[in-house]
Amino acid sequence: MQYTIAPLLLIVSFCLTVPAQTTKRRAATRKTTVAAPQPQPAAQPQPTPSTQPARPPAGPVALVVVNGQTFTTADLGPDVRQEVERLDDKIAEARKNVLDVQINTLLLDVEAKKRHIDTHRLYELEVSNRVGTITPAQIKKFLDENKEQFEGVDPALASKQAAAYLHDEAENKLADDLVNRLRKTNPVVMGVDINSPTLNPAAVLATIGGQPLIAETLIERLKPIVYRMKLEAYELSKQRIDRLVDDTLLLEEARRRQIGPEQIIRTEISDKVRNPTDEEVNKFYSDNKARISGDLNSIRNQLVTYLQNESRQQLEKDLSARLRKGADIRWLMTEPPQPVQNVSVDDDPARGDVNAPVTIVEFTDFQCPACAAMHPVLEEVLKSYGNKVRFVVRDFPLNQHEWARKAAEAANAANAQGKFFEYISVLFKNQKALDTPSLKKYASDLGLDRARFDAALDRGVYATEVEKDVTDGELYGVGSTPTIFVNGVQLKVLSADGLKQAIDTAAANRARASSSQ
């Protein structure tokens, strides 16, 4: 029997915090809308079997030694062990999927050039404009077939989610049909295997309509994908091993005290869990009101339960720390290192010395609240570094923000007149008013040449520039905003301390590299 003291995993919908706004963006020819709960169609097509040969089971790998006792991958449990052992196969499959997406993208490019239009116009003509209206009958049928998925969901919201899902399914079908037609009319000749262990960045992976697809671009695109897959496998293993370490130490402590482990759990945790006072509940509600659905009285019991569990989690952490303090623990597993990506600064707005040892590139959305919250943090931190840091801003408007793309164009128009950073400060302070008339008013407030500014905005002069940033961002694995890279390494902790640490680490690494050369 296990007496787990690892922190409880509590999911409370009204208290979830998200450091950045995220979205699923359209790939070459597919669009996916995120909805909660995620509806599932009545019948699911079966995935295509992988062509990769099955790998032989790997032998046990030592992960940690606790007071002389070694835990290996064999101790992870069959579910976790299977995920870990399948990692290489999953990475190989991901590489093939990315290759397919890139081939589809080039097919669109080739076809668009034949028609003398851009790929967005081609997609509109062949896909977007052909998606029919989702009827009430279709929505009702879908909801009836997926009742369990929508249990407890407001009927109006459920209908909206179902309509969005059905619309995207129809769009995906048309997109797949388009790709299949293009593959028949444009020859696709496969080249070097993308899973080759000796893949050269200059290798040709495929030739599409006479246009070569070079491996270098895909290698860069795969960096964040492969890293996330390795990190997920590591965190899954670490969570299970942490639990085994705590259980082992708990049993040892129980034997030392000559009592049952359940007694230690009761006296050190259960009996000490605090019931929050009314003042604490009221304060928590007040501090988090913007992220809580419902009034205080209707969710008071939920808040009490949440705060009780927070108290329990802290007690579990404290007990774990005390047990580990006197133990001989040698970790043999290591977290996968973050990839260093070749993040281009393009010709985007920048501050600081172009030869600075540290370059920060931020992909941002001017309608994103998380970006607005991070903006003053960046401004304050960067002051202390002066010209030791170069700061570059690139656009990544999210699909769910109706004004974000035009605001990005406006910021580029302001940049053309030398007032980019002044202008985006105004945008972040006025995120509820980013319609075109407001964007023009802000230009007047900053003394910009309105005729020049308005002409650029109305004609969409910078639309291509914004789209270029979005495309590059997707190449680097950007899926949320703000996403910040410090010398090519993505910032994991969006805070002043996290940013300072990343800058100092990047500067130290650059200094070491320079001295070694």
Q: Kindly report, residue by residue over 424-447, the tens digit of the pLDDT.
A: 999 999 999 999 999 999 999 999
Residue 14 has pLDDT above 60, yes or no: no
- If we measure between CA atoms, which residue out of 481, 506, 510 comes closest to residue 393? 481
Question: For position 32, what pLDDT does the model report?
Answer: 32
Task: List Cβ neighbours of 403 (8 Å cut-off, separation of 6 or more).
Answer: 366, 367, 434, 435
Residues 119-146: what's their mean pLDDT? 92
Question: For position 378, what pLDDT does the model report?
Answer: 95
Question: For position 34, what pLDDT does the model report?
Answer: 28
Q: pLDDT tens for residues 266-284?
A: 999 999 998 999 999 999 9
Residue pointed to by tokens 């913007």: 290
Beta strands 350-351 and 358-364 are unpaired
480 strand-pairing partners: 22
Tell me phi and psi for residue 486, to 5 degrees: -115, 110
- Helix (H, G, I), strand (E, B), or coil: what is residue 200? coil
Q: What integer best gives the mean pLDDT of the chain? A: 87
Residue 20: pLDDT band with limits 50, 70, 90? low
Residues 359-374: what's their mean pLDDT? 95
Residue 45 has pLDDT above 60, yes or no: no
Question: For position 173, what pLDDT does the model report?
Answer: 94
Which two three-digit tokens encode residue 69?
């006792």
Residue 55 has pLDDT above 70, yes or no: no
d(CA 176, CA 178): 5
Residue 95 has pLDDT above 70, yes or no: yes
Residue 451 has pLDDT above 90, yes or no: yes
Q: Are 178 and 127 in contact (CB under 8 A)?
A: yes
Residue 99 has pLDDT above 50, yes or no: yes
354 strand-pairing partners: none
Residue 157: pLDDT band with limits 50, 70, 90? confident
Question: For position 148, what pLDDT does the model report?
Answer: 87
- If we measure between CA atoms, which residue out of 86, 105, 116 comes closest to residue 26? 105
Question: For position 235, what pLDDT does the model report?
Answer: 95
351 strand-pairing partners: 391
d(CA 63, CA 81): 12
Question: For position 209, what pLDDT does the model report?
Answer: 87
Q: pLDDT tens for residues 283-341?
A: 998 888 877 777 888 888 999 999 999 999 999 999 999 999 989 999 999 999 999 99
Higher-confidence residue of 170 and 516: namely: 170
Residue 36 has pLDDT above 50, yes or no: no
Residue 479 has pLDDT above 50, yes or no: yes
Beta strands 480-481 and 358-364 are unpaired
Share of the chain above pLDDT 70, in %: 89
395 strand-pairing partners: 364
Residue 57: pLDDT band with limits 50, 70, 90? low
Which two three-digit tokens encode residue 196?
């080759």
Q: pLDDT tens for residues 188-226?
A: 999 999 999 999 999 999 999 888 999 998 998 899 999
Among the residue ranges 51-65, 146-160, 263-277, the one predicted with the least confidence is 51-65
| List of long-range contacts for 418-421, beta carbons under 8 Å, 24+ apart | 419/446, 419/447, 419/448, 420/349, 420/393, 421/349, 421/351
